[in-house]
């Protein structure tokens, strides 16, 4: 489409919009009836058409979100090693990278859940390679 055609269409749209704004609802209704149209039926068809467009948009959006979620959701839980093996792996990671130990509570007895959580964190950071049970 050339820019001249685009300007012509935009000017026609502006005129039609102005004409519609200046015309009252009653006059539009009378003109529709004169043209053999049922305003109630026309309004219902426009509403149904808009509903169909919105419904399709929502289905497409949900489908896209589902596909994205499926592509980015990590796989389910993987088996962990025994608690003793986790502690061993954590100590080895701390020995290799002492800076990691700075964030862990020193000189306190850690709960089993603390050990599991730290192990999972270090695995996700790539500091420990995950092994089976």
Average pLDDT of span 110-131: 83
Q: Does residue 18 sit within a domain?
A: yes
Q: Does residue 89 sit within a domain?
A: yes
Distance CA 122, CA 133 (A): 17
Mean pLDDT of the chain: 84
Distance CA 89, CA 77 (A): 19
pLDDT one-digit tens code per residue, 73-87: 776 677 889 989 988
- Contact of 132 with 80, CB cutoff 8 Å: no
Distance CA 118, CA 104 (A): 8
- pLDDT, residue 59, reads 92
57 and 93 share a domain?
no
13 and 67 share a domain?
yes
62 and 90 share a domain?
no
pTM for this model (two decimals): 0.40
Is pLDDT above 80 for 32?
A: yes
57 and 92 share a domain?
no
68 and 87 share a domain?
no
- pLDDT, residue 115, reads 85
More confident residue, 73 or 66: 66
DSSP 8-state symbol, 104: S
Q: Does residue 133 sit within a domain?
A: no
Q: Does residue 22 sit within a domain?
A: yes
Domain with 39, as residue range(s), is 3-72
29 and 59 share a domain?
yes
64 and 88 share a domain?
no
């Amino acid at each position: 489409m050339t820019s001249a055609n685009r300007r012509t269409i935009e000017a026609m749209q502006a005129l039609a919009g102005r004409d519609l704004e200046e015309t009252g609802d009653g006059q539009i209704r009378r003109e529709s009836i004169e043209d053999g149209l049922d305003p109630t039926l026309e309004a219902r068809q426009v509403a149904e058409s808009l509903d169909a467009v919105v419904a399709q948009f929502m289905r497409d959006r949900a489908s896209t979100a589902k596909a994205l979620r499926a592509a980015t959701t990590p796989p389910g839980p993987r088996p962990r090693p025994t608690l003793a093996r986790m502690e061993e792996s954590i100590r080895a990671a701390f020995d290799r990278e002492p800076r990691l130990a700075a964030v862990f509570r020193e000189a306190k007895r850690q709960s089993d859940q603390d050990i599991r959580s730290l192990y999972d964190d270090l695995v996700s950071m790539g500091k420990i390679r995950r092994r089976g049970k």
